[in-house]
């Protein structure tokens, strides 16, 4: 599959697992040239995820913790594309179209699956529409921008107290490492920036961490987890333990027991689910949909397919599944690369027998918890250890220098408040509403058109009910076409899902599709004629 004479190893995923497999294969190549390495990844950079939460506060620069794959991998061919399909029979991977929509197919002799996992909100009403995941650089940047926007809005919102409360409440769901680190970093950031806004009293700001178990950080020893809980609470984080996030709307996080937290910012680091591409492959899967591997890290029953990192269910020497962490992904990558080389060149194979060096979690502002080689640290010593270890683990001295100087400057300078607006418009979006919620209110600005996907609502003016809305019906057209404010309120009678089309998109489409404008106008006139009163 490689060149006429050389076998080809294709690695899917450029996270810890994929990149470190490629690095180990490049090292094994040395002076030789007896196989090719291809790495396919969605982004053209590698993200050092343990530092991702620091992007929220801007304590390290946006691109300081990412490394371009081409700088890291000197001898591998890098394909920056989405993997779309894998044909295990034909041994071919197909990737998404680039500038020209022609199919792009890469054949392989050995396939390494290192696609990680995904945060999957399916089955949790309102989460796909309203919760922010936290997995990659785009997620971190989106959250940072969103939080700054919430502050900008809250600082000038003097009429609507409820809206102000929602804007200044930040909810994180998931008390594992990533959720705790996000909550800690977010808490530091919002409390520090609140003082830069004249219209905001820092006491109004709430950060809530929702976790389904007895205590946060279940991966750590109890005393360290309890230390983390006390510290977060002392710094103002509200803990909601033994409670599970069940659904969300654009204005509330709804917990399983029925409690509702008004918020415009909901981050969820759970649930972690198997990668959708792997779900569809006829390969053996175990707990959490992860690919079952042999101790050599071959996918069971597949001689030429290997799995590493978060998507693999590799077993540690004590018989438990290796946890989804960067340190395990790196060790698996080394073993996998060794065994691929052994099967190409001949030689003995290795088994994955890494026991883990320990765990560390940052708690923000000069605090962390760490359990390393059987020793426990908390507070400042753990924080110092955390920073030193991760700094030294960053690939390349250039990055280390950048991160170290960002951290140093961060000690003296206030947090940056720049909101980077990247897109002109949000385009067509889906929204979820719970019974009793208002989509918009009489007197609001008419900025969007809505199409009901499921559920029902009523159109209300004052005490009178003007109409009922159900699936397939359009509403919100009147104010949009006539450039007026909403003449009525739309209130949900049941849980309702809608498609929302912003004014600009509607204007663009209507300008080029005269039939669209005509049919919306027909709906409008029909309603006027039927009721002699305008719907919203």
Cβ of residue 328: shortest distance to ligand FAD, in angstroms?
Answer: 7
Cβ of residue 14: shortest distance to ligand FAD, in angstroms?
Answer: 4
Contacts (CB under 6 A) with ligand FAD, residues 393-452 = none
Torsion, Cα of 109, 115, 117, 121 (10° steps): -110
User: Which stretch in 214-222, 324-332, 399-407, 488-496 sits in contact with ligand FAD by CB under 6 A?
Assistant: 324-332
Nearest to ligand FAD of 197, 384 (CB atom): 384
Which listed residue (25, 37, 38, 40) binds ligand FAD by CB under 6 A?
A: 40
Per CB under 6 A, 326 contacts ligand FAD:
yes
Residue pointed to by tokens 């949790």: 124
Residues 471 and 496: their CA atoms lie apart, in Å, by 9
Q: How far is CA 127 from CA 130, 163, 262, 352, in A?
A: 5, 20, 15, 37
Nearest to ligand FAD of 82, 353 (CB atom): 82
Per CB under 6 A, 42 contacts ligand FAD:
yes
Nearest to ligand FAD of 251, 268 (CB atom): 268
User: Which stretch in 29-37, 158-166, 245-253, 318-326 sits in contact with ligand FAD by CB under 6 A?
Assistant: 318-326
Nearest to ligand FAD of 42, 402 (CB atom): 42
CA quadruple 285, 217, 16, 144: dihedral sign: positive
Cβ of residue 246: shortest distance to ligand FAD, in angstroms?
Answer: 23
Residues 285 and 315: their CA atoms lie apart, in Å, by 13
Token digits of residue 421: 């607006």
Identify the three-state secondary structure at position 510: helix
Which listed residue (327, 339, 343, 503) binds ligand FAD by CB under 6 A?
A: 327
Residues 140 and 117: their CA atoms lie apart, in Å, by 17
Phi, psi dihedrals of residue 503, rounded to the nearest 5°: -50, -45
Q: How far is CA 297 from CA 240, 288, 303, in A?
A: 39, 17, 10
Per CB under 6 A, 178 contacts ligand FAD:
yes
Identify the three-state secondary structure at position 38: strand
Residues 536 and 518: their CA atoms lie apart, in Å, by 18
Per CB under 6 A, 364 contacts ligand FAD:
no
Per CB under 6 A, 249 contacts ligand FAD:
no
Nearest alpha-carbon partner for 337 in 85, 82, 75: 75
Task: Decide if 244 contacts 213 (C-beta within 8 A).
Answer: no
Residues 299 and 112: their CA atoms lie apart, in Å, by 9
Residues 290 and 353: their CA atoms lie apart, in Å, by 18
Per CB under 6 A, 133 contacts ligand FAD:
no
Identify the three-state secondary structure at position 419: coil
Per CB under 6 A, 329 contacts ligand FAD:
yes
Per CB under 6 A, 50 contacts ligand FAD:
yes
Which listed residue (58, 116, 446, 536) binds ligand FAD by CB under 6 A?
A: 116
User: Which stretch in 176-184, 217-225, 471-479, 493-501 sits in contact with ligand FAD by CB under 6 A?
Assistant: 176-184
Q: How far is CA 534 from CA 62, 73, 294, in A?
A: 49, 63, 67
User: Which stretch in 97-105, 242-250, 325-333, 426-434 sits in contact with ligand FAD by CB under 6 A?
Assistant: 325-333
Nearest to ligand FAD of 13, 476 (CB atom): 13
Cβ of residue 113: shortest distance to ligand FAD, in angstroms?
Answer: 9
User: Which stretch in 111-119, 155-163, 449-457, 486-494 sits in contact with ligand FAD by CB under 6 A?
Assistant: 111-119
Q: Is residue 59 reached through a cis peptide bond, with omega within 30 degrees of 0 on the bond before it?
A: no
Which listed residue (13, 175, 455, 536) binds ligand FAD by CB under 6 A?
A: 13
User: Which stretch in 46-54, 102-110, 146-154, 485-493 sits in contact with ligand FAD by CB under 6 A?
Assistant: 46-54
User: Which stretch in 22-30, 42-50, 205-213, 280-288 sits in contact with ligand FAD by CB under 6 A?
Assistant: 42-50
Q: Report, in angstroms and rounded to the nearest whole number, the Rg of the chain calculated over CA atoms.
A: 26
Per CB under 6 A, 134 contacts ligand FAD:
yes
Q: Residue 443 has what DSSP assignment?
A: T
Cβ of residue 53: shortest distance to ligand FAD, in angstroms?
Answer: 6
Cβ of residue 515: shortest distance to ligand FAD, in angstroms?
Answer: 37
Cβ of residue 307: shortest distance to ligand FAD, in angstroms?
Answer: 9
Task: Decide if 85 contacts 94 (C-beta within 8 A).
Answer: yes
Residues 285 and 458: their CA atoms lie apart, in Å, by 47
Which listed residue (125, 175, 274, 309) binds ligand FAD by CB under 6 A?
A: 309
Per CB under 6 A, 325 contacts ligand FAD:
yes
Nearest to ligand FAD of 329, 341 (CB atom): 329
Residue pointed to by tokens 């190549």: 29
Residue pointed to by tokens 């939460």: 53
Cβ of residue 17: shortest distance to ligand FAD, in angstroms?
Answer: 3
User: Which stretch in 112-120, 142-150, 376-384, 428-436 sits in contact with ligand FAD by CB under 6 A?
Assistant: 112-120
Cβ of residue 65: shortest distance to ligand FAD, in angstroms?
Answer: 11
Helix ranges (DSSP H) in 40-79:
54-57, 69-72
The continuous run of DSSP H or E covering 16 comes out as: helix 16-29
Task: Decide if 261 contacts 255 (C-beta within 8 A).
Answer: yes
Task: Decide if 460 contacts 466 (C-beta within 8 A).
Answer: yes
Per CB under 6 A, 135 contacts ligand FAD:
yes
Which residues form the interface with ligand FAD (CB under 6 A)?
13-18, 40-43, 49-50, 52-53, 82-83, 114-116, 134-135, 177-178, 181, 275, 277, 309-310, 324-327, 329
């Amino acid at each position: 599959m490689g060149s006429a004479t050389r076998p080809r190893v294709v690695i899917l995923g450029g996270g810890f697992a994929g990149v470190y497999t490629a690095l180990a294969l490049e090292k094994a190549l040395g002076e030789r040239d007896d196989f090719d390495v291809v790495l396919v990844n969605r982004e053209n950079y590698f993200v050092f995820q343990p530092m991702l939460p620091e992007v929220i506060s801007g304590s390290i620069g946006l691109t300081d913790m990412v490394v371009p794959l081409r700088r890291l991998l000197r001898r591998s061919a890098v394909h920056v594309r989405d993997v779309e399909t894998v044909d295990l029979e034909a041994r071919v991977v197909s990737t998404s179209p680039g500038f020209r929509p022609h199919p792009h197919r890469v054949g392989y002799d050995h396939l390494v699956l290192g696609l990680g996992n995904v945060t999957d909100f399916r089955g949790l009403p309102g989460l796909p529409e309203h919760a922010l995941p936290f997995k990659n650089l785009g997620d971190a940047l989106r959250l940072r921008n969103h939080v700054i926007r919430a502050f900008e809005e809250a600082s000038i919102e003097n009429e609507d107290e409820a809206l102000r409360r929602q804007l200044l409440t930040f909810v994180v769901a998931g008390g594992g490492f990533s959720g705790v680190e996000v909550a800690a970093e977010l808490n530091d950031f919002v409390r520090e920036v609140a003082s830069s806004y004249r219209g905001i009293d820092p006491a109004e700001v709430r950060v809530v961490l929702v976790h389904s178990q007895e205590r946060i950080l279940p991966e750590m020893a109890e005393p360290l987890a309890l230390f983390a809980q006390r510290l977060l609470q002392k710094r103002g984080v509200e803990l909601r333990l033994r409670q599970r996030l069940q659904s969300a709307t654009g204005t509330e996080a709804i917990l399983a027991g029925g409690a509702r937290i008004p918020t415009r910012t909901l981050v969820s680091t759970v649930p972690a689910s198997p990668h959708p591409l792997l779900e569809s492959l006829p390969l053996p899967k175990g707990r959490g949909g992860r690919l079952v591997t042999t101790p050599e890290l071959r996918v069971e029953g597949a001689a030429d397919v290997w799995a590493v990192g978060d998507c693999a269910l590799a077993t540690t020497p004590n018989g438990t599944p290796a946890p989804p962490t960067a340190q395990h992904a790196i060790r698996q990558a080394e073993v996998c690369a060794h065994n691929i080389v052994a099967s190409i060149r001949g030689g003995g194979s290795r088994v994955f027998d890494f026991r883990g060096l320990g765990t560390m979690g940052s708690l923000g502002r000069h605090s962390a918890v760490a359990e390393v080689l059987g020793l426990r640290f908390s507070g400042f010593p753990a924080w110092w250890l955390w920073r030193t270890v991760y700094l030294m683990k960053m690939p390349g001295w250039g990055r280390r220098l950048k991160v170290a100087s960002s951290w140093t400057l961060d000690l003296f300078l206030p947090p940056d408040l720049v909101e980077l607006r990247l897109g002109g418009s949000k385009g067509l979006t889906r929204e979820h509403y719970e019974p009793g919620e208002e989509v918009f209110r009489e007197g609001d600005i008419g900025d969007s058109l809505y199409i009901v996907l499921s559920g029902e609502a009523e159109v209300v003016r004052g005490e009178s009910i003007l109409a009922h809305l159900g699936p397939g019906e359009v509403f919100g057209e009147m104010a949009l076409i006539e450039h007026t404010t909403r003449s009525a309120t739309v209130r949900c009678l049941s849980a309702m899902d809608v498609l929302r089309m912003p004014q600009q998109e509607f204007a663009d489409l209507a300008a080029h599709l005269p039939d669209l404008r005509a049919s919306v106008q027909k709906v409008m006139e029909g309603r006027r004629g039927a009721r002699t009163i305008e719907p919203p």
